[in-house]
Amino acid sequence: MTETAAPLARPHLPAPRAVLELLKPITWFAPMWAFMCGVVSSGAPFSQKWPLALAGAVLAGPMICATSQAVNDWFDRHVDAINEPNRPIPSGRIPGRWGLWIAIIWTIASLAFAATLGLWVLVAASLGIVLAWAYSAPPFRLKQSGWWGPLAVAFSYEGLTWFTGAAVVTQALPNPQILWLAGLYAAGAHGIMTLNDFKAVEGDRQLGLKSLPVVMGVDNAARLACLVMAMPQAIVIGLLISWGLMIYAAGVLIALLAQFALMRRLLSDPLKHTPWYNATGTSLYVLGMLISAIGVGSILGGAS
């Protein structure tokens, strides 16, 4: 009897495929894109800095963003057991407390890796990790607020990663122009995060989560999201003009005008058209990020 009981007592380790699913590679694109915008905006010759840029991209996506996904899934495991029981933790493919251990291990590994890339990178990475835990873990659970939750994600995914991209290749505090772009596009991303909440309106309402679509209603939240996305881009256009970057300002303006046209359809039925807008309007938003980054990089590279 002891021989048959022994195998059952062995610890059940999660399969690598389940761990990868927990870390959600599909979510890594947004911070890695913002990171590369930071690299481009620095004006540093990429041919000389590509090892650092590659290392920073790994930090932004497969490490810090992946950490945030593991943290979120661990602290949402009870809710997921009801709404999405096939996820790695509620399904048992990530057994026991392995979800928590993976989140802790990825946190430590991310900070250790960030420390090798310079002081400012470590500062940004540390703040990103703090926000990742504060977003999902009690007592803060920022995700329960339709204001603070999207702000934390937008600031981490867009602002901090843009900052990190510039800091990792220059090994210095980024220029004011870069900080303006990182901050403004992070602010606008709050609207994108609000649109992401539309897919879970009914679930959020039942669970008492105060997302903006729940608190304000879907139509009002959609109007606010559009305004929040558009205003920072308009300011970016003004800044680009003031910096003498007329061609790049025109590029961002064209992207913004196209977004206005797409927003009209979005606002006609936000619940129906949000996935479509995320594939079209949001793509134009991130295209504007790259255009402005190239513009600022052209003057900072020339100045150096």
Helix axes 161-170 and 176-196, enclosed angle (nearest 10): 150
The pLDDT value recorded for residue 187 is: 96
Counting residues of the chain whose pLDDT is more than 70, the rounded percentage is 95
What CATH number belongs to 15-303? Answer: 1.10.600
Q: Would you place residue 7 in the very low, low, confident or very high pLDDT band (cuts 50, 70, 90)?
A: very low
Q: Would you place residue 303 in the very low, low, confident or very high pLDDT band (cuts 50, 70, 90)?
A: low
259 three-state secondary structure: helix
User: Domain residue spans in the chain?
Assistant: 15-303
Q: Would you place residue 151 in the very low, low, confident or very high pLDDT band (cuts 50, 70, 90)?
A: very high
Q: Would you place residue 66 in the very low, low, confident or very high pLDDT band (cuts 50, 70, 90)?
A: very high
Mean pLDDT rounded to a whole number for the chain: 91
Whether 240 has a pLDDT exceeding 60, the answer reads: yes
Q: What is the pLDDT of residues 254-285, one digit of tens each?
A: 999 999 999 999 999 999 999 999 999 999 99
pTM: 0.89
145 three-state secondary structure: strand
C-alpha 260/C-alpha 262 separation (Å) is 5
